[in-house]
């Protein structure tokens, strides 16, 4: 089940999720909230197990509940947005990619160009555009600021992963989303990785924090933990990062 199926179900019950395009935007969130209010559910804009069960009557399949399910039973909207943006890259030279600049503008952040590390900006965009009520950390352009985001969790699919960069004492860092693991490395989907949005491998010894958005805790148990059955294990590219 994915965002498109949720949008189709909302439309079938007379709500407007915006374009049926598989993109988790503010209109989809608003439609989910209207549905939740109508059904007497907690109004948080997140399609967790209870909301999904109520949507079954509109054609949404029941979420998988068996241990070790091979795939996520419910979508993680911020991860869907991150995947959608794979291959977005900064421009070489004086020009900047307007897509990246728009992320900063929508977050009301001063940002002069994509030559400034943007891994934190990428994570901020993916979270804020899909979880509009989630509080973002102050100074989110600085990767290590994400160590104060949400709640500390065990690494698993969708977690915000904060790493050292250039040594723990350097004060520098990198941040991205957990997308699996391979041996002694995490597979990270992030921005400003080789100057683009892509997957890379980062050694587990560099991990500082794994964090989860407070407004989506109902989805935490739906995501396979690192190394658990169903957790992705495919390899990424090299582990050069900047952020």
In this predicted model, what pLDDT tens digit does every residue of 208-223 receive, in sequence order? 999 999 999 988 877 7
In this predicted model, what pLDDT tens digit does every residue of 122-171 receive, in sequence order? 999 999 999 989 999 999 999 999 999 999 999 999 999 999 987 666 68
pLDDT band at 63 (very low <50, low <70, confident <90, very high): very low
Place of tokens 């997957």: 199
**Residue 234 domain-assigned (yes or no):** no
Same domain? 109 vs 172: yes
Residues constituting the chain: 243
**Residue 230 domain-assigned (yes or no):** no
Beta carbons of 208 and 162 less than 8 angstroms apart = yes
Same domain? 52 vs 152: no
Note down the domain range covering 163: 88-222
pLDDT > 70: what percent of the chain?
84
Number of domains in the chain: 2
Residues in contact with 38: Cβ distance below 8 Å, sequence separation at least 6, in sequence order: none
Pairing of strands 173-182, 160-164: antiparallel
Same domain? 114 vs 50: no
In this predicted model, what pLDDT tens digit does every residue of 75-87 receive, in sequence order? 899 999 999 999 9
């Amino acid at each position: 089940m994915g965002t498109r199926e949720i949008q189709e179900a909302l439309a079938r019950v007379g709500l407007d999720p915006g374009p049926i395009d598989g993109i988790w935007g503010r209109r989809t969130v608003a439609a989910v909230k209207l549905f939740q209010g109508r059904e007497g559910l907690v109004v948080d804009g997140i399609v967790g197990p209870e909301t999904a069960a109520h949507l079954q009557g509109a054609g949404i399949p029941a979420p998988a509940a068996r241990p070790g399910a091979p795939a996520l039973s419910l979508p993680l909207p911020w991860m869907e947005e991150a995947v959608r943006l794979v291959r977005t890259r900064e421009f070489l030279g004086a020009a900047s990619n307007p897509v990246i600049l728009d992320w900063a503008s929508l977050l009301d952040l001063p940002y002069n160009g994509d030559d400034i590390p943007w891994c934190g900006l990428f994570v901020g965009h993916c979270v804020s555009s899909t979880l509009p009520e989630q509080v973002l950390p102050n100074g989110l352009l600085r990767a290590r600021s994400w160590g104060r985001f949400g709640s500390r969790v065990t690494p698993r699919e969708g977690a915000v992963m904060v790493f050292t960069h250039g040594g723990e004492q350097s004060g520098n860092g990198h941040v991205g989303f957990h997308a699996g693991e391979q041996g002694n490395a995490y597979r990270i989907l992030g921005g400003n990785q080789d100057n683009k949005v892509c997957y890379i491998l980062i050694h587990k010894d560099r991990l500082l924090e794994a964090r989860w958005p407070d407004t989506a805790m109902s989805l935490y148990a739906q995501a396979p933990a690192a190394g658990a059955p169903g957790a992705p294990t495919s390899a990424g590219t090299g582990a050069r990062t900047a952020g």
